A and B are shown apart, each in its own frame.
Chain A
Amino acid sequence: MKVLFRQVEVELKLFWRNRISVFFTALLPILMMVVFGYLNQDAKIDNIPYAAFFLPGAITMQVMGSAFENLSVTLTRQREDGVLKRLGGTPLRKWVFLGSKMLTASLVIFVQTLLLIAIGALFFEVKIVGSPLLFFLVLLTGIVTFTSMGFALSGLINSTDTQSAAAHTIQWPMLFICGSFFPIDLLPGLLQHVARVLPLTYFVDPLRAVLIEEQGLGESSVDLLVLLIWMTCCFIVSFKTFRWND
């Protein structure tokens, strides 16, 4: 356990020392929140003001950027550079190493999420009605799912350039069709089917239900079940494909 905390401490230090690049990752969802919020001030989706509809979507953008993309690219880079190889020469357990990255990403995303919620509440009168505990649990499940998915992707790819391109190619279409920006119902039929397979759909929907629509877990239980299945699969693949060196 001590090793895990030490490793989280190091990850946070590294994170802070790279704060400029991190700043831009965090900035994008905030900018989108502000721009979309102003542009669609009178628009409503299912009787919900657009800003309120988009807030959970912006949070999922945050998760994809910080947990999925950033983390997986860093992992591949550290393997390509040989940082992992030297760590692999010590008794450091791989679950401690991966777990510390996951914990660090979670801490960072919690802060970013609070910031987004604050912006939504202060500037766009978004009413937060749901239970904080439920919201926290759904968010955490999403973070674990998408960090694992990033680690699994990193395990299948050798070079940082490929990793970065692959992460983008997976992340952006998923954000567009899975309901982060607009409801899935507005998509053509075929894309709706695709969206119903992808994990992000099952993260956005419960997040929105809990945060904005004041629903309990009961209404989203099927969604959460699918998300948990995705989480378990990604988690297993990420552990199986993890390697300290090529």
Chain B
Amino acid sequence: MSAIIVSDLYKSYGNIRAVDGVSFEVKKGEIFGLLGPNGAGKTTTIEIMEGYRKPDSGGVSVLGFDPIEDRYEFKEQIGIMLQSTTLYPDLKVSEILKLFASYYRCSVDNNSLIEMIGLKDKRDAYVKELSGGQKRKLAFILTLINDPKLMFLDEPTEGLDAQTRRVVWEIIRKAPDKGKTVFVTTHYIEEAQNLCDRVAIIDHGKIIALDTPRHLMASLEVEQKIEFVTDSAISVDKLRKIKGVSKAVQTKEGEFVIYTKKTQSTLKELMILAEKEGYEFRGLMVIGATLEDVFIKLTGRRIRE
């Protein structure tokens, strides 16, 4: 069953086509990621789904609702984290949570939310006294306050420290266990790759790829990297002749990187070569392809350029 159906969405601002014919479906209980560089149309797309913006054409159905027509019943059942959330600066954290809880028919215990995200010692602090990261934490737990069926998270971990980012990921990962659906936008490769069941890559308002992270990386035959450190004298030319190697470079004295599409056979041959020539490796690492490589392959650019 589909939690979200987006069909043929267009939205322009003046001459700029922010969303240029986007269609996709998100299944119930899925963690779905929209990955793309800044300005690719992520926020416009998510804000149309949230009912903040009207598309020029095309349709959106979320949990069977029209986000604008059915706005109040729709908002009962979703949680929203905006790209930048502003809350009443002169209210305390606990007051904000109580206030937002009062807007919904049912709400979860806000003490457990505060504890979960690590804001317990800030519950009596005013919003204006919070750091940027603490404000993001508060914005995040507000999306959970009505125990929503679907969460819209626009760049949820932007500006969070590594530890909190892991906590947020952990909470998001558990969401499908309770039947929740998560729609998340991000420009963090790791986030899309580690978190999402499926990822749509968006660039210039168009979806250029959509699949599971694994399939995306496999289908494009993106290269993996083999890195190693050695004291032995190695000729780069010999490395280049190994089967499957498309590129081999010496990055520093004694440090080499090989790019390959056939990791297994390349590794095997590298080992055979090492036996024969008597190379001693001090460290060896295989670095898998990332969605970043997929993005580069598709657009010729890095995602954060």
Please list the residues of chain A having a beta carbon within 8 angstroms of any beta carbon in chain B.
2-3, 6-7, 10, 13-14, 17-18, 81-83, 85-86, 88-93, 244-245
Interface of B is mostly: loop
Which residue among B95, B102, B104, B139 has the maximum number of chain A CB atoms within 10 Å of its CB? B102
Cβ B99 vs Cβ A88 within 8 A: no
> Cα distance A164–B248 when bound, in Å?
65
Cβ A10 vs Cβ B95 within 8 A: yes
Residues of A within 8 A of B88 (CB): 10, 14, 83
> Cα distance A211–B106 when bound, in Å?
48
Q: 12 extra interchain contacts, Cβ-Cβ under 8 A, other than A13-B90, A86-B142?
A: A3-B102, A6-B102, A7-B99, A13-B91, A18-B90, A85-B86, A86-B85, A86-B139, A89-B50, A90-B100, A91-B76, A91-B103
Cβ A14 vs Cβ B82 within 8 A: no
Q: Mark B96-118, 1 if CB is under 8 A from A, else 0.
A: 00011011100000000000000
Cβ A14 vs Cβ B86 within 8 A: no
B24 lies within 8 A of chain A by Cβ: no
Which residue among B50, B73, B90, B91 has the maximum number of chain A CB atoms within 10 Å of its CB? B90
Cβ A91 vs Cβ B80 within 8 A: no
B265 lies within 8 A of chain A by Cβ: no
Cβ B84 vs Cβ A82 within 8 A: yes
A13-B91, A89-B50 known; A6-B85 Cβ under 8 A:
no
Total A-B pairs in contact (CB under 8 Å)?
Answer: 57
Residues of B within 8 A of A244 (CB): 52
Contact pick for A10, options B75, B91, B142, B146, CB 8 Å: B91
> Cα distance A85–B51 when bound, in Å?
11
Which residue among A13, A81, A90 has the maximum number of chain B CB atoms within 10 Å of its CB? A90
Which residue among B76, B85, B95, B103 has the maximum number of chain A CB atoms within 10 Å of its CB? B103
> Cα distance A66–B100 when bound, in Å?
27
> Cα distance A91–B100 when bound, in Å?
10
> Cα distance A14–B127 when bound, in Å?
12
Contact pick for A91, options B75, B87, B90, B99, CB 8 Å: B75
Number of residues from B at the complex interface, CB < 8 A: 24
> Cα distance A2–B91 when bound, in Å?
19
> Cα distance A88–B102 when bound, in Å?
14
Cβ A14 vs Cβ B91 within 8 A: yes
A6-B102, A82-B85, A92-B103 known; A17-B90 Cβ under 8 A:
yes
Cβ B91 vs Cβ A89 within 8 A: no
Closest to B79 in A: A89
> Cα distance A27–B84 when bound, in Å?
37
Cβ A3 vs Cβ B103 within 8 A: yes
Q: Can you sample 23 A-B contacts with CB below 8 Å?
A: A3-B102, A6-B99, A10-B91, A13-B90, A14-B88, A14-B90, A14-B91, A18-B90, A81-B86, A85-B82, A85-B86, A86-B80, A86-B86, A89-B75, A89-B80, A89-B82, A90-B75, A90-B103, A91-B72, A91-B73, A91-B76, A92-B103, A93-B72
Residues of A within 8 A of B52 (CB): 85, 88-89, 244-245
> Cα distance A38–B127 when bound, in Å?
46
Q: Within the complex, what minimum Cβ distance (angstroms) separates A34 from chain B?
A: 31
Closest to B145 in A: A90
Residues of A within 8 A of B95 (CB): 10, 13
